[in-house]
Amino acid sequence: MNLHSCQWWQELWRRSDSVRIKECKELVCHDEAWRDWLGCDNEYARRDIKMMEAEGGNYFNLVSIIGIRT
């Protein structure tokens, strides 16, 4: 799995001649979304609990990108 910042994604998509980036941002719902996921009764979510505890909120984010095809 590769983890990339919002800036990394924005720079990647800017290289395209067929897409114009309208908006690229980190979503403010990150913590709430992860709490919901980790609190559900799903075997994958239960396995993610230790991973999220180990990363300590330093590496994961949710990125939203809105692009317009040119």
Q: What is the pLDDT along the chain (70 residues), one digit of tens a residue?
A: 567 889 999 999 999 999 999 999 999 998 899 999 999 999 999 999 998 999 887 888 889 999 999 9
What are the structural domain ranges in the chain?
A: 6-69
DSSP string, the chain: -----HHHHHHHHHT-SSEEEEEEEE-TTHHHHHHHHHHSS-HHHHHHHHHHHHHTTSS---EEEEEEE-
Determine how many CB atoms are found less than 10 A away from the CB of residue 68. 10
Residue range 52-61, pLDDT digits in tens: 999 887 888 8
What is the predicted pLDDT for the residue at 1? 59
Q: What's the rounded Cα separation, in Å, for the pair 65 and 16?
A: 14
